[in-house]
Amino acid sequence: MQAYTGLADAPALVVPASAPRPAVLPARALEQARQNRSATLAFRRRLLLAERDVAQARGTTGFQATLLANMGYVNQAANLVDTYQNLQNQQRVSLAFSLPLVDWGRQKSIIKTAELARDQVQHNVAQEERSFEQTVLSQSGQLPALGEQARLAGRADSLAQRRYDIARATYVLGRISLTDLTLASVAKDSARRGYIAALRAGWVAYYRLRALTLYDFERQQPLVANQ
């Protein structure tokens, strides 16, 4: 370690412990993901905006009426100060109607375009929701398998280390060749790398599930306040 870092008192590297393996039901993980993640609200918002656009397209075509009312005081003068002298009362109400006689299908086209855009948004949201749910379910289902994989890799690492220790002692006694000792050393290093890789996969899966659900399954509490 000192040769790589250049530090006189370089810390010793140790193999980390296995990742926590709380009992996580996939349905429970999906429930927490829907409850805690803002993605669920984003999906609903996109659907509501699409429905709003359709309603707006239907409401802004065809017959329209505008009501305008003005009430207050009014006056005119050559300068600003005189405009506030002898104010005149003003009350005015106007009602305007607008009805297209021939629009050559423009109204139907606007509504149809908005409906097609809404349908596309609904399709995209449904796909994204399924993808999100499948990711959560898959991630939660991986934890037991990865935990068992780490346990087996740890067992293989221990056996490879014992084999190397025996091979080394036997080599010192001159009962095996250097080639046999080298093979044992290679197997020991390979088992250690496999064990560390299994540990890493377990920790990555554990924190990825926390990120997907924003929930701590060890303490049984949300990581953030519910949105």
Spatial contact of 90 and 73, defined as CB atoms under 8 Å apart:
yes
The whole-chain average pLDDT of the chain stands at: 84
- Rounded Cα gap, residues 166 and 173, in angstroms: 11
Phi-psi region of 67 (alpha: psi -120 to 50; beta: other; left: phi over 0): beta
Q: What are the structure tokens assigned to 129, written together?
A: 């929701």
Spatial contact of 29 and 136, defined as CB atoms under 8 Å apart:
yes
pLDDT of 168-205, one tens digit each?
A: 999 998 888 999 999 999 999 999 999 999 999 999 99
- Rounded Cα gap, residues 49 and 122, in angstroms: 11
Q: Look at residues 143, 138, 136 and name the one whose alpha carbon lies nearest to residue 40.
A: 136
Spatial contact of 35 and 102, defined as CB atoms under 8 Å apart:
no
Spatial contact of 142 and 206, defined as CB atoms under 8 Å apart:
no
- Rounded Cα gap, residues 24 and 116, in angstroms: 40
pLDDT tens for the chain, 227 residues long, are: 555 566 667 677 777 788 888 888 889 999 999 888 888 889 999 999 999 999 988 877 666 667 777 777 766 767 776 677 777 777 776 766 666 665 667 778 888 999 999 999 999 999 999 999 999 999 998 888 998 999 999 999 999 999 999 999 999 988 889 999 999 999 999 999 999 999 999 999 999 999 999 999 988 888 875 44
- Confidence at residue 116, expressed as pLDDT on a 0 to 100 scale: 94
Output the pTM of the full model: 0.67
Spatial contact of 57 and 32, defined as CB atoms under 8 Å apart:
no
Half-sphere exposure of 190 (CA within 13 A, CB side): 7
Half-sphere exposure of 23 (CA within 13 A, CB side): 0
Q: How far is CA 111 from CA 55, 73, 108, 167, in A?
A: 9, 43, 5, 81
pLDDT of 52-79, one tens digit each?
A: 999 988 877 666 667 777 777 766 767 7
- Confidence at residue 84, expressed as pLDDT on a 0 to 100 scale: 72
3-class SS at 211? helix
Half-sphere exposure of 24 (CA within 13 A, CB side): 32
- Rounded Cα gap, residues 171 and 165, in angstroms: 10
Which residue, chain included where needed, has tokens 């140790």?
Answer: 14
- Confidence at residue 227, expressed as pLDDT on a 0 to 100 scale: 44
H-helix segments, 60-177: 106-172
